Amino acid sequence: MFQKICNYLSILSTVLVLGILGGGFFTFKYVTSEQFKTKIMNEVMGNVQGLMPKVLDKGLPKMTGESMPIPKNFGI
């Protein structure tokens, strides 16, 4: 009786380990695929494009000042 229980648990353990390894392999293949990269880039660009006009309006000055003067003995 104990032998049968150990055999069933061994088989169950093997199935679970193979499932975890298989799931990990397919997840890795999907995350490193071009399809996943394209999906993530589209999502990020969609979010960033919505924020860009607000950020640019607040961050860019209306007028800039004078340029920084370069000393005459620069490079000596």
Q: Which residue has the higher pLDDT, 19 or 44?
A: 19
DSSP string, the chain: -HHHHHHHHHHHHHHHHHHHHHHHHHHHHHHTSHHHHHHHHHHHHHHHHHHHHHHHHHHS-SS--PPPPPPTTTT-
Q: Which residue has the higher pLDDT, 69 or 16?
A: 16
Q: Which residue has the higher pLDDT, 22 or 51?
A: 22
Q: What is the pLDDT of residues 22-48, one digit of tens each?
A: 999 999 999 999 999 999 999 988 887
> Is residue 55 classed exposed, middle or buried when 0-12, 13-18 and 19+ CB atoms within 10 A define those classes?
exposed
Q: Please tell me the predicted confidence (pLDDT) of residue 64.
A: 72
Q: Please tell me the predicted confidence (pLDDT) of residue 75.
A: 62
Mean pLDDT of the chain: 85
* pTM for this predicted structure: 0.51
23 and 17 in contact (C-beta within 8 Å)? Answer: no
